[in-house]
Amino acid sequence: TPELLQVRNLKTEFSTDQGAVTAVDEVSFSLAPGETLCLVGESGSGKSVTALSIMGLLADNGRVAGGSIRFEDQDLATLPERRLRAIRGNSIAMIFQEPMTSLNPVLTIGDQLSETMILHLGLTKAQARERVIELLTKVGIPRAAEVVDDYPHRLSGGMRQRAMIAMALSCGPKLIVADEPTTALDVTIQAQILKLIRDLSAETGTAMILITHDLGVVAEMADRVAVMYAGQVVEQADVFTLFDEPKHPYTTALMRSIPHLAGPAGERLTAISGSVPSLAQMPTGCRFHDRCPQAMDRCRDDRPELLQLNGSPDHTVRCWLYDVPVAKVLP
Ligand code: SF4
Ligand code: MG
């Protein structure tokens, strides 16, 4: 498949008082048109930084220090800010966890949604207003013709997230990057919003990078999954393979930590002991070694590469348990 997005060996650094810290290291993945890739991992694993690197929205002390981010025929990692801004909100849109941070509180819903359409699609004010009402209706906002004149604070959290989705869709993007889009919402609303996002992306053929710490969301939404730990992808596979045959000890531990995948009823949930290492003090060797129940001697010193599993070209894992020489003998 011709890829829409190809991230290769992405490395993102932040300058701090203690010197440069690497928040994302050797991250690679690709995305075909219409596909949904979930980035999953605990907080601090580098998921959001990966997304912000792609969007060119890193904080001032952050920078892409290596690798490439090919979107269609351009490398976003080296594109000047002006060109990047044209791509954002046009071919690539972003949905954040808390819509209040991205909705302007002093503009009506109608004014802020039509702003991007007037700017990027060249619509007149009246045309844009019509289109906004259509979009609000499409994302399930009742009384859209009235809501269009409301300010964001008048809407509930769920309705604001719907408005945010309408805004993301307003320019017909090829890629939506959604960072924990439902985490701030209560469970019922969460399910509605996920269904909305899924239906809309299926209908419009929009590809999506969906960031979540919730494997339930992954099971619901993903075509493919990249599991992140301490700034790296540790396992990547299609969603069925990942749930049926997780290989990396971290993936296995994550699976055991969620209730409905935890096996026979009554079985105690296994929390992953320890916590994600700090960026400033990354462990040597495998970054998971001090939490890994299967750690071996070499894991402390040797850093595993992302290896392709024998016989499954789309399943990769960063773990010495799978460093089987036979993989290299086969064509
Ligand atoms: Fe565990 Fe070693 Fe694999 Fe790391 S490389 S996940 S420590 S077995
Ligand atoms: Mg985050």
Closest atom, ligand 1, to C-alpha of 296: 2
Best of 251, 254, 320 for a ligand 1 pocket test (most atoms within 8 Å of beta carbon): 320
Instruction: Check residue 38 and report its DSSP letter.
Output: E
Q: What is the distance in A from the centroid of ligand 1 to the CA of 281?
A: 18
Ligand nearest the Cα atom of residue 322: 1
Q: What is the distance in A from the centroid of ligand 2 to the CA of 67?
A: 21
AA letter at 110: G
Alpha helices, DSSP H, located in the chain: 47-55, 81-87, 109-121, 125-138, 144-147, 157-169, 187-204, 215-221, 239-244, 249-256, 297-301, 326-329
Ligand nearest the Cα atom of residue 41: 2
- pLDDT tens for 165-216 read 998 888 889 999 999 988 888 888 888 889 999 998 888 899 999 999 889 8
Q: What are phi and psi of 83, to 5 degrees?
A: -70, -35
- The per-residue pLDDT string of the chain (331 residues; one tens digit each, 9 = 90 and over) reads 679 999 999 999 999 888 899 999 999 999 999 999 999 988 889 999 999 999 999 999 999 999 999 999 899 999 998 899 889 878 999 988 876 677 889 999 999 999 888 988 889 999 999 999 999 998 999 999 999 999 999 999 889 989 999 988 888 899 999 999 888 888 888 888 899 999 988 888 999 999 998 898 999 999 999 999 999 999 999 999 999 999 999 999 988 877 655 444 444 445 577 777 887 788 899 999 999 999 999 999 999 999 888 778 889 999 999 986 544 444 4
Instruction: Check residue 310 and report its DSSP letter.
Output: T
Report the distance separating Cα 68 and Cα 5, nearest Å: 10
Q: What is the distance in A from the centroid of ligand 2 to the CA of 63?
A: 17
Instruction: Check residue 35 and report its DSSP letter.
Output: -
**Is the separation of the CB atoms in 289 and 230 below 8 Å?**
no
The token duo for 82 is 């002006």
Instruction: List ligand 1's pocket residues with C-beta within 6 A.
Output: 248-249, 286, 288-289, 292, 294-296, 299, 304, 319-321
Q: Which residues pair with 317 in a beta bridge?
A: 235, 307
Closest atom, ligand 1, to C-alpha of 248: 6
